[in-house]
Amino acid sequence: MDLSMLWTVLSWAWIASEVGILLLTRTSRSTGEVQDRGSILILWGALLSAISLGRWFGESHARTMFHDAHWLRPASVVIFAVALALRWTAVITLGRSFSANVAIRATQSLHTTGLYRIVRHPSYTGLIFIFFAEALRTRNWVGFAIVMVPTTAALIYRIRVEEAALRSAFGEEYAAYSRRTKRLIPGLY
């Protein structure tokens, strides 16, 4: 299988999984306290527009990212595959506690083991690296920025909304967890 085909397969797997997550894991107001503040719409809007514009820009403009960029496509495929596996693992780890919209169920507990021992939002770490792989695929600095800036900004907003809900629900337990565990990248952020 060539790289373009592998990228296409991974892209469709990602799209299908995100649609599945959106349709199957949304918490209704009757089963939990929804505190999303529009973050799901902002994230999806940023994701769809930024990746579409970034891909268009990357295909229609000169490749200026690096002089000899033959390694960019294989690197982006590897990053995409690893990031997708990370996202899926994080979602599966949370199980019924995972929700597409920011919501806290009355029976929910704080997960601090496995990937969640390393970073507080491993599914978002996976997403940010998926965005990074998409940005690399543009092979153009402007295309890279078109993909990364709005998606990262939307993701940071969503993390802030989610963390406010978690602080409200879990109080000092979440505060202690936050002090010892970074948000997205171990030791950095």
Q: Range of 78's domain?
A: 68-189
If one counts the domains in the chain, the total is: 1
Q: Token pair of 82, please?
A: 């690893």
Has residue 40 been placed in a domain? no
The CATH number linked to 139 is 1.20.120.1630
- In the chain, the percentage of residues whose pLDDT exceeds 70 is 93
Has residue 127 been placed in a domain? yes
Q: What pLDDT score does 30 carry? A: 47
- Residue 72: pLDDT over 90: no
Q: What confidence tens digit (pLDDT) does each residue in 15-42 have? A: 999 998 888 776 555 455 667 778 888 8
pTM: 0.87
Has residue 47 been placed in a domain? no
Model confidence at 84, in pLDDT bands (50, 70, 90)? very high
Has residue 123 been placed in a domain? yes
Mean pLDDT of the chain: 88
